[in-house]
Structure 1
Amino acid sequence: MTGMTVPHHVKVGPITIGNDLPFVLISGPCQIESRDHALFMADALARIAGQAGVPFIFKSSFDKANRTSVSGQRGVGIDAGLAILAEVKATLGCPVLTDVHDAGQVEAAAQAVDILQIPAFLCRQTDLLLAAGRTGAVINVKKGQFMAPWDMAAVAQKVASTGNDRILLTERGASFGYNTLVSDMRALPVMGETGYPVTFDATHSVQQPGGLGSASGGQREFAPVLARSAVAAGVAAIFAEAHQDPDNAPSDGPVMLPLDWVAPMLAKLKAIDAVVKG
């Protein structure tokens, strides 16, 4: 990335993540719907990524605490969810990522998964960042829609102050008026100047928060376009949620990729990545 410091590499299981290394795919359904669904999606995505030659990390959330409406489905809960994620990891051997929402969740989550993700709206919550950092797990912090990219250096420093430098920073768009996000690709090299690996969240970046009234809308057709732009900027990973039937998913359906979109997208991203980092 232009103007970036010497890149810092983060090891997670068999995968090494870095801004100067081939990109990694972080993907899975928005929330854990059931054990069988999580295992099905993890296996399907692992096969697609493996055939494309792209390192793969499975992502799914045991709780979606930030819903537009109180009627929104939140997931299976922490106990059932962590057991399912641990089974995915043991069965498929791929690293696993999930969200945490308060300091009381981090110890249990870190025992089950490889990467603890700090949701965008919580990215400045000092106690949560410190508690997550102290687990020694990889910490992926999503940049809040309200945050400037250069302000993420201070966020990363909170985690690093615990002695844990296994940090990823994720761009997921910035608020633009009402119910709209916009992706500023300048944010990627700016956050890259920290040296920490930068991830681009292609699916949440096309979300329309609250756009459906009681739920968020989105324009999933633009997610592959933004993913290509981000890879051209030199990111370490692409975060893209996927589902076999996104239109009937309990959360974030309008932005999740259908499974049959993933392989063609990865083929194009690999070609761009090879040019940029070659």
Structure 2
Amino acid sequence: MKTMKIGNVLIDQSMFMLIAGPCVIESETQIMEVAKKMKEITGRLGVPFIFKSSFDKANRTSAHSYRGPGIDEGLRILKRVKDELNIPVVTDIHEPYQAEVAAEVVDMIQIPAFLCRQTDLLTAAAKTGLPVNIKKAQFLSAKDMMNVITKVEASGNEDILLCERGNTFGYNNLVVDMTNIIEMKKFGYPVVFDATHSVQKPGGNLTSTGGNREYVEPLAKAALAAGADALFMEVHEAPDNAKSDGPNMVKLDEVEMMLQKLVKIYKAVQEVEQHSYSV
């Protein structure tokens, strides 16, 4: 697996990396509090941590749904997280022009699943020189990601992460094929498992997305056992009152216990793998 530096975080195989934070920036106070708490938790557990939140959710189910504070205010808040808490930050972009603007603040750019085939968006992200976390679309196979990788590499950027987040299964439902993690790892780049978007029910609440957060932990366990190098989780202090993705976000006060279990699983998997090579 290719190792890479994301801000002050090194992604290698010593411990899985965690990308986490509220789905969308709701307030500056909220973002600072969640980021501080997550830094404390991951610090205790020795888990490399990158903070994530969106300045704009451009793919909301309803035109009336909250989208975020916008790129200028959103990046200002993320910069405060980065500067005051010394945490790398990542956010997603939806239009090519946003890549260069976001790159002035963030340490990694994220490409939403629905947009992972958009050539101009991928090219703009790649040209920033920052690592690019690309979510595999709900309608693509793992092998289809080769074409996505090629678009980024063509712009001279080989700091790529590939993110599994489930595949469409009928209407308003997603399933996770863990073999996608195995197949994407063959490309040689780190593979991230999006444990919260994978339990979504897209449009399942008619005017908003539904979800089932009780599946986050078991799927995250399975992903690490399958070889995932990093986990992505959206975390909120009160998910039932969140302005976006509430049904599938993890409660902030439940994160530490979950991560304790996931650290043990990751270490066990690494020990088994190392032992198998030494036998």
1:85 matched to 2:50? The reply is no
The answer to whether 1:76 aligns with 2:54 is no
Distance 1:16 1:189 in 2: 22
Offset, 1:154: 1.5
Give matches, 1:101-120, under 5 Å: 101-120=94-113
Partners of 2:243 and 2:106 lie apart in 1 by 23
**C-alpha separation between the residues in 1 aligned to 2:94 and 2:3?**
26
**Contact preservation (8 Å) 1:139, 1:166:** yes
Distance in 2 (alpha carbons) for counterparts of 1:80 and 1:268: 36
Q: Residues 106 and 135 of structure 1 are in contact (CA less than 8 Å); yes or no, is this contact kept in structure 2?
A: yes
Aligned to 2:4: 10
- For structure 1, list consecutive stretches of 5 or more residues without a partner in the other structure: 1-6
Instruction: Output the aligned Cα RMSD.
Output: 0.8
| Aligned residue runs from structure 1 range 161-240, under 5 A | 161-240=154-233
Q: 2:89 aligns with which of 78, 91, 96?
A: 96
Q: Secondary structure at the match of 1:158?
A: helix
The answer for the alignment partner of 1:61 in structure 2 is 54
Find the counterpart in structure 2 of residue 245 from structure 1.
238
For residue 14 of structure 1, report the CA deviation from its aligned partner: 2.0
- Residue 220 of structure 1: CA displacement? 0.2
CA distance in 2, matches of 1:192, 1:84: 34
- Cα distance in 1 between the residues matched to 2:64 and 2:26: 16
Contact 1:172–1:202 (8 Å) recurs in 2: yes
With a CA cutoff of 8 Å and minimum separation of 6, indicate the structure with the bigger relative contact order: 1
Q: How many residues align?
A: 271
Structure 1 runs of 4+ aligned residues shifted over 6 Å read none
Cα offset, 1:264, TM superposition: 1.0
2:115 alignment partner AA: L
The question of whether the paired residues in 2 share the 8 Å contact of 1:22 and 1:277 is answered with: no
1:150 is aligned, of 106, 126, 143, to 143
Flag structure 2 segments of 5+ consecutive residues without an equivalent: 272-279
Report how far residue 22 of structure 1 moved. 1.3
Cα deviations by residue, 1:2-57 (Å, 9 ceiling, x for unpaired) = xxxxx111211221213x34101110000011111111110011111111111110
User: Which residue type is aligned with residue 23 of structure 1?
Assistant: F
Secondary structure in structure 2 of the residue aligned to 1:170: strand
Question: Cα–Cα, structure 1 residues 21 and 234, in superposed 2: closer, same or farther, change >3 Å?
Answer: farther
Give the corresponding residue for 2:277.
none
Can you list the C-alpha shifts for 1:221-277, whole angstroms capped at 9, x where unaligned? Answer: 000110000011121101010000000000000000001221111111111111111
> What amino acid is aligned across from residue 27 of structure 1 in structure 2?
A
The one-letter amino acid paired with 1:74 is R
Aligned sequence identity (%): 54
Per-residue CA deviation, residues 49-86 of structure 1 (Å, 9 max, x unaligned), is: 11111111000000000000101100000000011101
State the partner residue of 1:259: 252
Match of 2:27 in 1: 34
Normalising by structure 2, what TM-score? Answer: 0.96
